[in-house]
Structure 1
Amino acid sequence: MDGLRLTSARLVPEVRLFLAEDPTILWARLEADAGHRISAPYWATAWGGGEAVARYVLDAPETVAGRRVLDLGSGSGLVAIAAAMAGASVVVANDIDPYALAAIRANAKVNGVSVGTLATDLLELAPRDVLDNHADVLLAGDAFYDDDLAARALPFLLAAARRDALVLVGDPGRGRIPDDNWQVVKTYPVTPMTGEDSKLTVANVLTPRNV
């Protein structure tokens, strides 16, 4: 597609992704093609939280090796692809944006890994059912970029951890994850983005504490 280029995120050079040359121009082009308003193409950017979780999984493959992995709000598929490269037995990338699902499939193919896709809004389901059907490990690379989404995702992920799932999330410091519920596993430097993220220079990988 015009407006995308095959490149790599700075923290994760092992993974190649089709990313937007200019996300705003890409969004306008997609809306013109669709003939109606569509969600912003979050899938066409490698976000700091996702880069951090992907880097951590590749550096500590024992976290996912031989296990079923679900990547919540997968976007480009960066985290899911890293999990597959690190030896996960099954990887499912979840996103409700159909453009994201197409991007995930394209990105998985170019990286030579197998990643399933799931369009269901999993935050509407009981964590028990999601874990029983899909995963031993839940990864969320950058699922807290607005207040409403964070308010839905955080209780879901904590409930999954209470059911003995390994939960790892990425957070570039937007201030939506309560410190008393989460602990830092690893911190990475990230390239500042635009808008709200313009002053964010590090991203943490977090896991629930005392669940």
Structure 2
Amino acid sequence: MSEFPSLVVDRPSGNIKMVEHPVLQSKSSMSIAGILDKYIIVITKSMVIGKIRGHSVYKIQATEFLPLQEPTLHDHDEDAYLALLQTHLRTGPMYYSYSFDLTNSMQRQSTADHSLPLWQQADDRFFWTNRTLLTCEARHHLSVDSFILPVFFGFLAITTTRIKNTPMIFILITRKSRHRAGTRYFARGVDENGSVANFNETEQILIIGDAGAI
């Protein structure tokens, strides 16, 4: 088995599949941010904002929309909507880590099954990219785990300091639920599943003496 599997899009049909052999004509990206109808959204630029327990944390800065199929007609309205969505993804605070579950609080992580892939440990409420590959045939491939990246929307700040020569890390995370998110004119109250409009979870973390995480 190849160490680096490839995700292949069949342009005539739009089908997505996994292959273990090298791909001659390929496009590299940091990760997949999602699949939207006939487009696959890839992260093309990110910024490291710090580390948590030695795990790097990134903020998305740029994305690219790649069509799953060759467009037959040029739609100016669709171009305008895609531009708006790209602006939202660029300006909206979205964060991820390749090796640390940012969707779950430290308390929930203490009881999680860490033998599972990262995306299977993620909290569905804050897993904004949870439909990345779950509806395509590639989801049955064992190597697909590396292409499904949990991304959350909200706020994350990491501040490192020392007090009396003791390293300390102050972390503030606010996670916005993907259920019933929207403006107050369209998202209010509670739905039949108990999801309230614009729910946010805020977590404060203080790590003391973990010099390896700074």
The TM-score with structure 1 as length reference comes to 0.29
By percentage of residues, which structure has more strand?
Answer: 2
Hey, which of these two has a bigger chunk of helix by percent?
A: 1
Specify the structure having the higher radius of gyration (Cα). Answer: 2
